[in-house]
Amino acid sequence: MNLGNIKTINILKVIVVISSIIAAVWAFEDRYQTKASADEKYQQTIKTIDQLQQKINYDADVRLYDQLIERKFLYKKLIKQDPKDEDLKEEYKHILEAVKRIKERLDKHRDK
């Protein structure tokens, strides 16, 4: 699964969640709500959407991190087979940088 597919899946998940939340809000009859309770429910809905989006982003980063680690070991093996190939070494360096960036994002998310 490449990064484009992961982003597409995540966008579809967010659309489904938002649609479900909107349907649930509409199902609740307005005549029984006060403005304060409606505002409170709206804020809870927004908070829930934000939490779900953060979870989706975290899950995508975990999958990407796993894929990058696999690629890292593959390139390390390929470099051992052909130590003179500069293209492999350059790509390996880019993979290491990407692993570092994703690890930092995962660490930030865990700290929250």
Q: What would the pLDDT profile of 49-108 be if each residue is shown by its tens digit?
A: 989 998 998 999 999 999 999 999 999 999 999 999 999 999 999 999 999 999 999 998
Task: Output the CA angle 77-101-91, nearest 5 degrees.
Answer: 35
Instruction: Enumerate residues 6+ apart whose C-beta is below 8 A from 48.
Output: 21
**Residue-range definition of the domain harbouring residue 42:** 3-111
Contact 32, 63 (CB under 8 A): no
Q: What would the pLDDT profile of 26-62 be if each residue is shown by its tens digit?
A: 776 555 667 777 788 889 999 999 899 989 989 999 9
Structure tokens at 17: 């969640």
Structure tokens at 103: 């690890």
| pTM greater than the 0.85 cutoff | no
Tally of domains within the chain:
1
